[in-house]
Amino acid sequence: MTTLPGVRRRRSRLVWRNTVVGWTFILPNFAGFAALTLVPVVVLFYVAFTNWNVFGVADWTGLANFRRMIHDASFRTALQNTVYYTVLHIPLTLAASLGLALLLNRKLRGLGFFRTAAFFPYITSIVALTYVWNLLFSPEYGPINGFLRAIGIAHPPGWTTSADWSMPAVIIVGTWREMGYYMLLYLAGLQTIPAELYEAARVDGANAWQRFRSVTLPGLRPTTFLVAVLLTIGSFKVFDVILLLTNGGPGQSTLVLSQFIYQKGFVENQFGYASAVSIVLFAICFLVTAIQFLVNKRRNA
């Protein structure tokens, strides 16, 4: 192949111009991302190895923060609680949002209303939501326990005021709040499954359950994967619901990692230690997501 030098120069100029145009489009977003996210994250990895208290010099302490974490019972509690929340919250939300999407994917009077109703919790202010849920959960005067007593449960749970029930209460609110959002993703996924597949299945004599198992679920696999990844990251990072609903209590029963980080950093001014815990949280999220990607890849292959 023989190319004239002039042509090559023109082509490389074209490539350069395209690159510049492309980056110009990205630049405003990237500048903001760099200033507000990228730089702080890079700094975080440095601070995690120091004993910085916001003011003055950060002394390099090597792995001291990580060694401290191993022996820190509160960190272990926070980690256990985070796993507890995640393990229950992910399947519950997956099932609830898929169920809602299936229900609202048919021709139905007032469909728009029901879809909006399911999506509403997600866009309502979290502060208002938790305020109302706290009233509902009130052990003595709340309507939930009033209902439970009415159907014959003499000692209904204390919900957010009991160490055993506070986490389930938080999970219920978390699931209820987010299922509308993931329902939307599932609804979009359901539209992509060709109607012919269902017809073919019906012709072959498949009943509703078999059609669901063999057509709907495989057709939704990309959506399910996306939802699972988003849910995993969201669950590990859960913060606002818990902070507002129970503030980690009673005792440490709903203390999760992000709240632990907040406490150590912004309440006790131990930014070095808080950064180290953040790195661990990041590593956990990264690892679990990587595993999900691997599993998904193997299944698709």
Partner 1 sequence: MKRSIPTVIGLAAAASLLAAGCGGGSSSDSDSASGPVTLTLAGWSLSTTPEFKTLADGFHATHPDVTVEVKEYDAANYDTQITADLAAGSAPDIYAQKTLKNLYTYATGGQLMDVSDVAKKLSNSVGGLDAYQVDGKTYAIPYRQDSWVLFYNKELFDKAKVAYPDGSWTWDDYVTAAKQLTDGLKAAGSKAVGTYQHVWQSTVQGFALAQTPGAKLTSGDFSYLKPYYERSLDLQNAGAQPSLGTATTNKLTYQAQFGKQQAAMLPMGTWYIATLLAQRESGDADKFDWGIAPAPQFDKSTTGTSNTPVTFGDPTGFGINTAIKKSKISAAKEFLAYAAGPEGAKALAGIGITPADTAAVTDTFFALDGMPTDELSKFAFAKHDTKPENPVSKYTAGLQNILNDAHTAILSGSKSIDSALGEAQNRAKNEVLNQ
Binding site for partner 1 (CB under 8 A): 15-16, 18-19, 23, 27, 30-31, 34-35, 38-39, 53-56, 68, 71-74, 131, 134-135, 137-142, 158-164, 248-253, 255, 263, 266-269
- The residue among 33 and 293 lying less far from partner 1, judged by its C-beta, is 33
- The residue among 157 and 189 lying less far from partner 1, judged by its C-beta, is 157
- The residue among 67 and 297 lying less far from partner 1, judged by its C-beta, is 67
- The residue among 50 and 160 lying less far from partner 1, judged by its C-beta, is 160
- The residue among 16 and 286 lying less far from partner 1, judged by its C-beta, is 16
Least distance from partner 1 to the Cβ atom of residue 25, Å: 12
What phi and psi, each to the nearest 5 degrees, are found at residue 168?
A: -55, -40
Least distance from partner 1 to the Cβ atom of residue 86, Å: 22
- The residue among 232 and 254 lying less far from partner 1, judged by its C-beta, is 254
Q: How many CB atoms lie within 10 A of CB 53?
A: 15
Least distance from partner 1 to the Cβ atom of residue 108, Å: 36
Least distance from partner 1 to the Cβ atom of residue 141, Å: 7
Q: DSSP string spanning 59-87?
A: PB-TTHHHHHHHT-HHHHHHHHHHHHHHH
For residues 156, 157, 158 and 162, what is the CA-based torsion angle, rounded to 10 degrees? 160
Least distance from partner 1 to the Cβ atom of residue 153, Å: 17
What gap in Å lies between CA 49 and CA 61, rounded to an integer?
Answer: 6
Give the residue among 44, 98, 72 at the shortest CA–CA distance from 226.
98
Give the residue among 193, 264, 198 at the shortest CA–CA distance from 223.
193
Least distance from partner 1 to the Cβ atom of residue 270, Å: 8
Give the residue among 166, 184, 177 at the shortest CA–CA distance from 256.
166
Peptide bond into 28 cis (omega under 30): no
